[in-house]
Amino acid sequence: MKTGIIGLPQVGKTSLFKILTKTHVAEHGGGREAHIGVCKVPDDRLDRLAALYNPKKLVHASVEFADVAAIGQEALKETAYATSLRQVDGLAHVLRAFEDPAIPHVGAIDPLRDARNVEFDLMVSDLGQIEKRLERLEKDLKKMRNPELEREHDLILRSKAQLEKERPLRELELTPEDRKRLRGFLFLSQKPVLYVLNIGESAELGRDLEQAVEKYQLAELAARPGAAATVICGKVEAELAEMADDEAAEFLSSYGLKESGLVRLIRKTYELMGLISFFTVGEDECRAWTVPTHSRAVEAAGAIHSDLEKHFIRAEVIPWDALLSAGSEANARSQGTLRLEGKDYIVKDGEVVHIRHSA
Ligand SMILES: Nc1nc2c(ncn2[C@@H]2O[C@H](COP(=O)(O)OP(=O)(O)OP(=O)(O)O)[C@@H](O)[C@H]2O)c(=O)[nH]1
Ligand SMILES: [Mg+2]
C-alpha cells in the first residue's frame, strides 16, 4: 500500500514526507522523480502487548509514502510524472494553511480553493485518458459487436459525464464488476484522498488543530465518499521528530496535545484505504500485520506466510485488550475469551490471531 503525498508547490510535502519516514532527502528543486519511504505505523496496542511478552523482536506495521513533485496541469502532462502518480493507492493532499511571507504561495492562503484546483487538475488528467480510450473503443465497436466492450463503453461514458460535472471518479457509484473494469486505468480522481491541512504554529495549537477543518471550510469536502481530512502543524511535527520519547511527550503537553499529528494522520490513512491491523504475539516476536478490512482468517494467515494459508486449520482469536486483561493466552483460554475460528471468520482490527496449521 502506497500513499502519494501531493499538493501545490511549497506547501510542506517534503517536510511531511521526511517526518513520516524519518528519511533525509533533498528538497525538490524541479526534479520530478518521487522519493519513496517507509513509515513505521505507531501502535499503542502492540506496544502494550509487547510489554506483556517482552519479545526478542517487536515489528510494527509499515506503510509506504511517496513524495511526489508539486502538482499542476503542466506536470500532469508529463507522462513520467502522471504514470508514477497513478501507481499510488491513495493520496495525501497537503494543503497550505500556514502563513509565512517568506514562502511563496499562489494568492492568499485558501486551502479550500487549492484543494479544488488540484482536484480539478486530477480530473482533467483523467478526462484525457478517457477521451483516448473512448476513441479506441468506438473504433473497435464499429468493427464488431462485443458485449464486454459495450459495457465498458457505457461505463466510460458515465465516467466522462461525471468528470464533466467536475465530480471526481471516487464519487461515482460502481458495481464490483465496473470497479474491476476501471481498475487498469489507475484514474487519479478515483483514488481515496486524505486532505492534510498544514497549519501554522501557535500557542493554542491544540484548539487550532481541532478547529481547522471547520475554519477552512473543508468539512463538506472531507465528508464525501473516499475522502477524509486531518490537521497537522508541520513545523511542530518536525521538531517532535528530533526528540526522544519523554521529551516529545512533555513538548506535546506544553501545547495541550495528547498525541502527535502523525499518529492521527496514519490512522486516518488506514481507515481511508480500508485497512486494519491484527497482531501475532509470542516471546520471540510481537508483530502487527496489515490486511484489508473484511479479510477472512485464511487470508490473514496468507499475509503472514503462504504456507499458513495453504495448511490452515483454525485460528485462535482474541481482542488485544482481552488478552492483556487475561494476562496470558492460557488464562484467556480457560476463561473462554480465546475463541477458535474457521477459515471464513472475518478478522477484526486489533485482534490477536494465532494460526493453527499443518505445515
Ligand atoms: N512556517 C512554516 N513553514 C513550513 C511549514 N512546512 C514547511 N514549511 C517550509 O516551507 C518550505 C517548503 O517546504 P517543503 O516541505 O519543501 O514543501 P514542498 O511542498 O515539498 O515544496 P516543493 O516540493 O518545492 O513543491 C520550506 O522552506 C519549509 O521549511 C510549516 O508548517 N510552517
Ligand atoms: Mg518537495
Per-residue model confidence as pLDDT tens digits over 126-168: 999 999 999 999 999 999 889 999 999 999 999 999 999 999 9
14 within 8 A of 67, measured Cβ to Cβ: yes
CA distance 203 to 246: 21
Where is 41: in which H helix or E strand? Answer: none
**Helices and strands: H and E segment counts in the chain:** 16, 12
pLDDT band at 26 (very low <50, low <70, confident <90, very high): low
**Whole-number pLDDT of residue 169:** 98
Q: What is the mean pLDDT of residues 190-214?
A: 93
The reply to whether ligand 1 has any atom less than 6 angstroms from the CB of 100 is yes
Residue nearest to atom 14 of ligand 1 (CA): 12
The whole-number pLDDT of residue 255 equals: 84
Chain centroid to Cα 122, Å, comes to 18
Cα of 277 to ligand 2 centre, how many Å?
30
Q: Write down the pLDDT at residue 145.
A: 86
Cell of 236: 511542530
Q: Please tell me the residue having the least CA distance from ligand 1 atom 9.
A: 12
Q: Which of 205, 289, 212, 217 is CA-nearest to residue 253?
A: 205
Tell me, using a 6 A CB cutoff, whether residue 234 lines ligand 1: yes
Q: What is the DSSP string of 97-158?
A: ----TTS--SSS--HHHHHHHHHHHHHHHHHHHHHHHHHHHHHHHHH---HHHHHHHHHHHH
Q: Is 346 helix (H, G, I), strand (E, B) or coil?
A: strand
Put residue 86 in one of left, alpha, beta given phi > 0 → left and psi -120 to 50 → alpha: alpha
- In this structure, the residue with its CA closest to atom 13 of ligand 1 is 12
**With 90 as the cut, is the pLDDT of residue 74 above it?**
no
pLDDT of 28 over the 80 cut: no
Q: How far is the CA of 104 from the centre of ligand 1 (A)?
A: 10
List all residues 6 or more positions away from 27 whose beta carbon is below 8 Å from its beta carbon.
14
19 lines ligand 1 (CB under 6 A): no
pLDDT in tens, 34-46: 788 999 888 999 9
Q: Which long-range contacts (CB under 8 A, 24 or more apart) does 176-181 make?
A: 181/151, 181/152, 181/155
CB-based contact 27:209 (threshold 8 Å)? no
Distance between CA 299 and CA 342 in Å, rounded?
Answer: 11
Which of 6, 99, 103 to mutate to test ligand 1, by most ligand atoms within 8 A of the CB atom?
A: 103
The ligand whose atoms approach the alpha carbon of 237 most closely is 1
Confidence of residue 106 (pLDDT cuts 50, 70, 90): confident
Going from the Cα of 37 to the center of ligand 1, the distance in angstroms, rounded, reads: 18
What is the mean predicted confidence (pLDDT) over 17-25?
80
CA–CA distance, 29 with 81 (Å, rounded to integer): 15
Q: Band the pLDDT of 344: cuts 50, 70, 90.
A: very high
Percentage of the chain lying above the pLDDT 70 cut: 97
pLDDT value at 202 more than 70: yes
| pLDDT for 73 | 75
Q: Could you tell me where the beta strands, DSSP code E, fall in the chain?
A: 2-6, 35-40, 57-59, 62-67, 90-96, 193-198, 227-232, 275-280, 285-292, 312-319, 339-341, 351-357
Q: What is the pLDDT of residue 219?
A: 96
The least confident of 60-69, 121-130, 275-284 is 60-69
- The answer, yes or no, to whether any atom of ligand 1 lies below 6 A from the CB of 15, is yes
Q: Give, to the nearest 10 degrees, the angle between helix 147-164 and helix 111-143.
A: 150
What is the whole-number distance in angstroms between the Cα of residue 276 and the centre of ligand 1? 31
Distance 32 CA to ligand 1 centre (A): 17
Ligand 1 atom with the shortest distance to the CA of 17: 15
- Nearest atom of ligand 1 to the alpha carbon of 234: 31
pLDDT tens-digit readout, 273-318: 999 999 999 999 999 999 999 999 999 999 999 999 999 999 999 9
Q: Which pLDDT value is given to residue 77? A: 82
Q: What is the mean pLDDT of residues 191-216?
A: 93
User: Which ligand sits nearest to residue 234's alpha carbon?
Assistant: 1
Name the helix (H) or strand (E) containing 207: helix 205-215
CB of 27 closer than 6 A to ligand 1? Answer: yes
Cβ of residue 337 lying under 6 Å from some atom of ligand 1: no
Please give the number of the atom of ligand 1 that sits closest to the Cα of 232: 31
% of the chain with per-residue pLDDT over 90: 73
Given the CA of residue 16, which atom of ligand 1 is nearest to it? 15
**109-123, 158-172, 244-258, 261-275: least confidently modelled range:** 244-258
pLDDT at 32: 57
Amino acid of residue 13 = K
In sequence order, what DSSP letters do the residues of 300-338 get, joined into one string? HHHHH-HHHHHTEEEEEEEEHHHHHHH-SHHHHHHHT-S
Grid coordinates standing for 352?
A: 490477536
Which pLDDT belongs to residue 174?
Answer: 95
Residue 11 alpha carbon, nearest atom of ligand 1: 19
- Whether 70 shows a pLDDT value over 60: the answer reads yes
Specify the residue for cell string 522519493. 35
Distance 20 CA to ligand 1 centre (A): 14
What is the C-alpha to C-alpha distance for residues 145 and 302, in angstroms, rounded to an integer? Answer: 41
